[in-house]
Structure 1
């Protein structure tokens, strides 16, 4: 049995009609409830009675023929989540950072004072995440300027430009 990496919401699911041939199918994984995940953990077993992931895939397919088949990657993720967190509930996403007005004002003043300061330096100075600083700058429609090393202008450069433009 093989498994493939997740692609956003869709996962390449592995199922086989025969023991020797394997086919791929795209299916959403939203059908896996907490009770199904617990059932998968019970199918995996513990200690001497532990099953391989391929055996769990077959057993799940036999037990739930109406549901889309699982792949080894899904089983591996469920098992890793249980070992790491001790549960298989959905993990809430991270909250968006809350930044008070004083911090925003200090950040924008530092940017006005020195517009060539990199966003990462602003983040270090204000003890904020780099991405939070970028979001604040974007929301306020400010642009941090980046210095670029260019060739120094010489005395006869304007004459060359005029001559090049006329020709």
Structure 2
């Protein structure tokens, strides 16, 4: 007895079924919000992106879009208001979001897009003779905490650029 072989199905785009459920306009706003979240650090800068995040794009009754941005501090809200024109321009040029008229902020304690942790890149190993040379150079520094900080900084310098001048 031969087993029935099922025909292979082909992948189908999700846009049409999702548009039926959510409505074309809502789906367009959700996908624009997703694009905006992906490109937010490039639009406002990495420092501001860690303290702010776009929450939603909403169609307003008077034919314009409202961008709601969560911020973790009032100063960040002020900065968003200050950069409003540049943010709108970047949204239109980079992402094709047209009709963005208003940008509003709301306080949210943990706001900010957390960047993915970079994989730990290990620099070059520092040879013992280099460490000893750095330690002997810094021996004249009396403050122990300062000496340790200077030593750590010099080791980090060497690790990031092993071709740099070696200590005597």
Of Structure 1 and Structure 2, which has the larger fraction of its residues in strand? 2
TM-score (norm 2): 0.24
TM-score (norm 1): 0.24
- The structure, 1 or 2, with the larger RCO (C-alpha pairs under 8 Å, 6+ apart) is 2
